[in-house]
Amino acid sequence: MTPRSISSTSLVRQLGEWRDDDRAGAGGDPLYVQLAGAIRLLILDGRVPLDVRLPGERELASALGVSRTTVSTAFGRLREEGHLVSRHGSGSRTSVPAGPGGRVIGSLIAADDTFAIDLGAAALPAAPGVHAAYADALAALPAHLPGHGYQALGIPELRRALADRYTARGLPTVPEQLLVTSGAQHAFVLVLQLLAGPGDRVLIDHPTYPHAIDAIQRASCRPVPVGLPGSGWDVDGVVAALQQTGPRLAYLLPDFHNPTGRCMDPESRSRIAEAAARTRTTLVIDETMVDLGLEGPPPAPFAAHDPTGGVVITVGGTSKSFWGGLRVGWVRADEGTIAGLGGVRPGLDLGTPIVEQLAATSLLTGHESGLVDRRAALRERRDRLIAALARDLPDWRVERAPGGNSLWVELPAPVSSALTASAERHGVRVVAGPRFGVDGAFERFLRLPYTRPAEELEDAVARLARAYEDLRVAPGPRAVPTTATGAVV
């Protein structure tokens, strides 16, 4: 196989505004330290994959407009840390340091707990009903033990509970339209396996959920980003992209979109569903956040706008509503698609654990009242976070969206990656804006989850303010590149 490599143009674009000349002065970080830090962040964020060959030192130095010594010293530092390995004849390849304490590469979730405050994952602890649901599951387990335990489509009682739930939301559904998976991410990967092949285009909201981008790229498909405007969705842009680029799939997050928290109005849903039917594009609607409407419930499910039932595939899960540790998700689609997914699944795994499915059944049929408290807690945390930002970082622009569990904050300058590195030095882990897009977009944005207690969020904002101060960002018209990032926003 030909080794993967990244061109100097692409690396320079990904690096964005890595260089802070103010910091390079006396007492600050030398240029090579800044460059090494910026490349390290790209690797740790998963924006430059592992085992990819970086450009040669001379070529990169000229593309960046720095001396070759700066590049070779930066590479040397990354090599010492284990973020680069050099083998004779194959250049410098991205890597991760061996040993414990390393972070999960590209994941939004830290594998260690070295941060005072971890705002990497936008996820609440388990809802109070989860423990009781596991007790219910153990009580129900004996009925399953005489069987072999392999249920590639899911246990009947959970498929029934999910079907009833969709029906109650105004979308008549039978259990045969449901496949239980090990989380919503797994559900999307299965859909990609069944319906998309190498080179296919997949339309995405831009920004979107980072691991969806990862899954699309791992399936060797090409993301087609359609930017979100000031509020809502660019429906004309989505329709035009459907017509002009012929994507195989479109992956959309209409119900409390991650990271913005927006909710798509019924008319936009209807127009997009019609356009998808015309262009024969399958819409994959990710409803993972659907229970997190903080100002009220979302409109009818997107699939209710699909008159034939053959255009929309819905994926969902219990992670945001109840607990990420459950690892239960599902796909809702027409019966033929479900049968097809059941056929491809064994290549990936042979089913979701029975106890977890029973616990999810218990939660979905008996403990939903806990969601009211969950939403109330999120609402309070969101409002406290917004107030803290207004006080400590008044030039950051915050969108107060109707749901979800994070704020998508607009910074006055394209410094998200630098700020992320600076925040780490102040004990706060955040995920930089570019992780939510492709081609290095969103250096002017930062996702701030409000899933931690309010006091911790206020502490985080105070630390972020100090981290931001360290960058000594000049307010006003500091370069905000619109094309250098390759953004399609």
Ligand X SMILES: Cc1ncc(COP(=O)(O)O)c(C=O)c1O
- Single out the residue of 122, 121, 123, 100 nearest to residue 112, CA to CA: 100
Residue 336, C-beta contacts closer than 8 angstroms, at least 6 positions apart? none
Site for ligand X contains 183 (CB under 6 A) = yes
CB atoms within 10 A of CB 413: 21
Q: What is the CA radius of gyration of the chain?
A: 23
Residue 95, C-beta contacts closer than 8 angstroms, at least 6 positions apart? 43, 50, 51, 82, 83, 84, 85
- Determine the interface stretch with ligand X among 37-45, 182-190, 351-359, 394-402 (rule: CB under 6 A): 182-190
- Determine the interface stretch with ligand X among 177-185, 267-275, 297-305, 427-435 (rule: CB under 6 A): 177-185
Q: How far is the CB of 253 from ligand X (least distance, A)?
A: 5
**Size of the chain, expressed as the number of residues it contains:** 489
Nearer to ligand X, 122 or 276 (CB): 122
Tokens 């979100």 correspond to what residue? 228
Nearer to ligand X, 314 or 362 (CB): 314
Site for ligand X contains 329 (CB under 6 A) = yes
Candidate list 54, 137, 178, 184; residue touching ligand X; CB under 6 A? 184
Phi and psi angles of residue 53, each rounded to the nearest 5 degrees, phi first: -80, 125
- CB 84, CB 92: distance < 8 Å: yes
- Determine the interface stretch with ligand X among 60-68, 234-242, 283-291, 480-488 (rule: CB under 6 A): 283-291
Candidate list 317, 370, 412, 433; residue touching ligand X; CB under 6 A? 317
Site for ligand X contains 353 (CB under 6 A) = no
Candidate list 70, 94, 173, 185; residue touching ligand X; CB under 6 A? 185
Candidate list 14, 70, 95, 258; residue touching ligand X; CB under 6 A? 258
Site for ligand X contains 314 (CB under 6 A) = no
Q: How far is the CB of 187 from ligand X (least distance, A)?
A: 8
CB-facing half-sphere around the CA of 159: CA atoms within 13 A: 20
Nearer to ligand X, 368 or 458 (CB): 368
Nearer to ligand X, 209 or 233 (CB): 209
Q: How far is the CB of 107 from ligand X (least distance, A)?
A: 11
Site for ligand X contains 352 (CB under 6 A) = no
Site for ligand X contains 321 (CB under 6 A) = no
Site for ligand X contains 359 (CB under 6 A) = no
Site for ligand X contains 406 (CB under 6 A) = no
Site for ligand X contains 118 (CB under 6 A) = no
Site for ligand X contains 319 (CB under 6 A) = yes
Site for ligand X contains 287 (CB under 6 A) = no
Q: How far is the CB of 390 from ligand X (least distance, A)?
A: 26
Candidate list 253, 273, 388, 457; residue touching ligand X; CB under 6 A? 253
Site for ligand X contains 209 (CB under 6 A) = yes
Nearer to ligand X, 134 or 188 (CB): 188
Distance between CA atoms of residues 238 and 250, nearest Å: 9
Alpha carbon 85 to chain centroid, angstroms:
28
| Number of residues lying near ligand X (CB under 6 A) | 13
Site for ligand X contains 207 (CB under 6 A) = no
Nearer to ligand X, 111 or 240 (CB): 111
- AA identity, residue 103: R
Distance between CA atoms of residues 30 and 374, nearest Å: 46
| Residues found near ligand X in the complex (CB under 6 A) | 183-185, 209, 253, 258, 286, 288-289, 317, 319, 324, 329
